[in-house]
A and B are shown apart, each in its own frame.
Chain A
Amino acid sequence: MTIDAKRIVVLVPARNEEHSVADVVLEVSAALPGATVVVIDDGSTDRTADEARRAGAVVLSMPFNVGIGGAMQTGFIYARERGFRAAVQVDGDGQHVPSEIPRLIECLEEGADMVIGARFLGRGDYRAPLLRRLGMHLFSAALTVLTRRSFHDTTSGFRATGRRGIEFFARTYPSDYPEPEAILLLCRAGYDVREVPARIRERESGASSITFFRSIYYMIKVLLAIAMGMTRRAPVRRRGEER
């Protein structure tokens, strides 16, 4: 099954990324002609929304900062309501390479429900700082054990989600640091989550939102969420109360 580019929405969460967001939008539009680019402006205090609009993106402006999870979920609700077949997440800081998107889409076409562009599968030469690398390995190990599927890069924010995943995430999406937990939720619900190798660039501007103390909070929060997720009943797929 091929997915028409017109049915693809690219979700770009951005917070105070006025220097890079326009380039990201233009680059995505060039790499995926016909696709809709939606920038989710998560309470920026700079000109992120204006820059994104000027570059031709649809902008969803959160009235205040709701965090990456809440912002992404807004994008999934948008995708669900407008009937998109695939939602691709690309960060607003320019570290993801839009020309890699077709590889993710291809994998969706082969039947995956969500495809993660993984940074450690050979392509590219991305090296994260030690503590973050430790956390990443920890999450990957935890998820690999819990889902009985092999995951290498569970924190990657470069991913594509198909129709069923969009429906699911519009209802239920984790709040802070959502990436590893989102994988677990989908796997537990019986969906097919895969990884493909993806290149990554040094960020064009801005620093990672994750500082030392936050990394520790991040690690504990995600591990707790994963542990709790395992003790809960597998999420049901029918429509329920949105959380």
Chain B
Amino acid sequence: MISRVQVVSILGSLTLLVLILELVRRGKLAERYSLLWIATGAVLLVFSLWRGLLDRFAAAVGIFYPPSALFLVGLVFILLLILHFSVIVSRLARKNRRLAQRLALLDERIREMEKEKIDG
């Protein structure tokens, strides 16, 4: 007997997976950043489909209401994703700063060369 909550979670994780893959297909989500998302969707789907796994996992970590374990898993993956993005944002900020510095230096060099041209 399939429970209502199970139907909802299967549909939910399937929708997520399809959405992610569609974004990758249209080129709106870069492959390298989609991997963690796909893993999230896949894990959620596996847990929704295989109720026994969820029950076992819930019992192992001491959760009485197994569907809550699904939320836990989802939450953990979302935290990982956010952390992943913070790392990416930090890297982008560093690269951005480097570009700004290079731009300022080049700007000055051009000004200098133009002045030399006028003076010379």
Q: Which residues of A contact B (CB under 8 A)?
A: 40, 58-64, 66, 70, 73-74, 77-78, 81, 175, 242-243
Contact = CB atoms under 8 A, between A and B. Distances in A.
Contacts of A70: 97, 100-101
Interface stretch (B44-52, B61-69, B75-83, B102-110): B102-110
Chain A to chain B: the 7 pairs with minimum beta-carbon distance, closest first: A74-B101, A60-B104, A70-B97, A62-B104, A66-B100, A66-B97, A63-B100
Contacts of B4: none
Contacts of B98: 242
B105 A60 contact: yes
Nearest to B101: A74
Interface residues of B, number: 10
Interface in B102-120: 103-105, 107-108
Nearest to B98: A242
A178 to B, nearest CB: 12
Residue among B94, B97, B98, B103 having the largest count of chain A Cβ atoms under 10 Å? B97
Nearest to A58: B108
Given A59-B108, A78-B105, 20 more contacts: A58-B108, A60-B105, A60-B108, A61-B104, A61-B108, A62-B103, A62-B104, A63-B103, A63-B104, A64-B100, A66-B101, A70-B101, A74-B104, A77-B101, A77-B105, A78-B108, A81-B105, A175-B97, A242-B98, A243-B94
Nearest to A175: B97
Nearest to A243: B94
A243 B95 CA distance: 8
Nearest to B103: A63
Contact of B101 (A58, A59, A62): A62
